[in-house]
Structure 1
Amino acid sequence: MNATETLEATRSQRLKAATRASHGALDKRIMAGEIFADRDRFARFLRVQYRFHRDIDALYANAALDALLPDLAERRRLPQVTRDLHDLEQVLPGPVPMRLGPDLPLPAALGWLYVAEGSNLGGTILYKMAGQLGLDADFGARHLAAHPDGAAGHWRAFTAALDTVLLTAEQEQQVIDAADAAFRSVHDHVELEFA
């Protein structure tokens, strides 16, 4: 993206461009884990998802964020990931220190939520692939199932709201840095499970 394109792009478009490398590295690492080889490997992926969604779960109850983003509480996926793990008779990963404290600045929270909500969109592809393991919206892959309104529409509603939040240039950079940190955090969780 050149300087003119950067000024004309929406925040969500700028985030996508700025995090392309960390996002791409994460996608490659997840697929290298052969998560659809069998249910055991898919369960490892579920534990990655559980850790990430546990890290961000408090954001979905944040009143300031809820005022800015549509249906925020309904977008929470930790309960679905938990049920998916139980379906596969997996023990939940033990407690670890929270990566995100309650005093996370709003721009940083927006960056983390951008990654979480974007994973919903990508999850629809993974959902189809999970079918080969006999997993679906009722068993083992409910957290990957598309929203009843469709994954694309749900994503567009989120990004439309994200793009309208007024931020300073410094805060814009905080959103980008936080999104990049979120991708790297998930990568760390993948390494823990698949190393």
Structure 2
Amino acid sequence: MLAENLKDQTLAYHQQLEKKLVGQIKGLTSQADYLQLLQLFYGYFGGLEDRINLFINQEQMPDHAQRRKTEAIADDIIALGGQPVAKATGNELPEINSAEQAFGALYVIEGSTLGGSIIGKMISGKLGLNTGLSFFNSYGENTHQMWASFKNILNNQPSDTEQTITEAANSTFLKFKNWIEQHG
């Protein structure tokens, strides 16, 4: 199954990104720090979603609109008194010139929701926030159902697209790590 193969084939890049993000999250000491973290996500995910939207719509993924994260991040930023930053463009983002590459990038975005509720609770407890957490709690109690639905869509992609999807997912992890290093 493609989703399971992706998990194995992206593990190294996933762990590199996770290490960077965990460091950022552990270093949060104030609402301003958290706002900067949200702006990192907004900039990267915003640019990434703009590219994905060129190739994925309701036809490929019936709940596509529900899966967009940029608006939730912007809402959190505004709720905390900030303003959304510029979105990533050009070489800051992975190459997305097909639906297959878009699915690879979506694998990273959708996978982030699995740890999001844990991160949201960590941040809330650490900073005492009750607002500005909608991004990390994006699907709430439906997180595992939404992940299973996404994996099903992935697993129904033609088998000859696996390499393209995998390369795009790895590039998405790597470019996000680079984004954090440059802007974090």
TM bracket (short chain): 0.7 to 0.9
Residues 96, 24 of structure 1: alpha-carbon distance in 2 compared, 3 angstrom cutoff: closer
Residues 167, 75 of structure 1: alpha-carbon distance in 2 compared, 3 angstrom cutoff: same
Offset, 1:128: 1.0
For residues 67-94 of structure 1, give each alpha carbon's deviation from its aligned partner in whole angstroms, at most 9, with x where no partner exists. Answer: 2324011110111100111122223223
Question: What residue in structure 1 maps to residue 149 of structure 2?
Answer: 157
1:112 has 2:102 as partner: no
Amino acid at match of 1:135: L
Distance in 1 of aligned mates of 2:51 and 2:140:
22
| Structure 2 counterparts to residues 3-152 of structure 1, below 5 A | 10-33=1-24, 34-58=26-50, 61-62=53-54, 64-98=56-90, 99=93, 104-132=97-125, 133-136=127-130, 139-152=131-144
Amino acid at match of 2:48: I
Distance in 2 of aligned mates of 1:110 and 1:126:
24
Offset, 1:193: 3.0
Amino acid at match of 2:180: V
Assess if the C-alpha contact under 8 Å between 2:52 and 2:102 holds in 1.
no
Assess if the C-alpha contact under 8 Å between 2:47 and 2:87 holds in 1.
no
Equivalent residue of 1:143, what SS? coil
Question: What residue in structure 2 maps to residue 183 of structure 1?
Answer: 173
Offset, 1:146: 4.3
Tell me the number of residue pairs that the alignment of Structure 1 and Structure 2 aligns. Answer: 180
Amino acid at match of 1:43: L
Distance in 1 of aligned mates of 2:173 and 2:152:
21
- For the pair shown, which has the larger CA radius of gyration, 1 or 2? 1
Q: Tell me the percent identity.
A: 24
**TM-score relative to the length of structure 1:** 0.82
Amino acid at match of 1:134: G
Offset, 1:27: 0.9
Distance in 2 of aligned mates of 1:70 and 1:149:
20
Assess if the C-alpha contact under 8 Å between 1:123 and 1:144 holds in 2.
yes
Residues 178, 97 of structure 1: alpha-carbon distance in 2 compared, 3 angstrom cutoff: same
Equivalent residue of 2:135, what SS? helix
Distance in 2 of aligned mates of 1:141 and 1:93:
18
Distance in 2 of aligned mates of 1:25 and 1:40:
25
Residues 41, 127 of structure 1: alpha-carbon distance in 2 compared, 3 angstrom cutoff: same
Offset, 1:38: 2.1
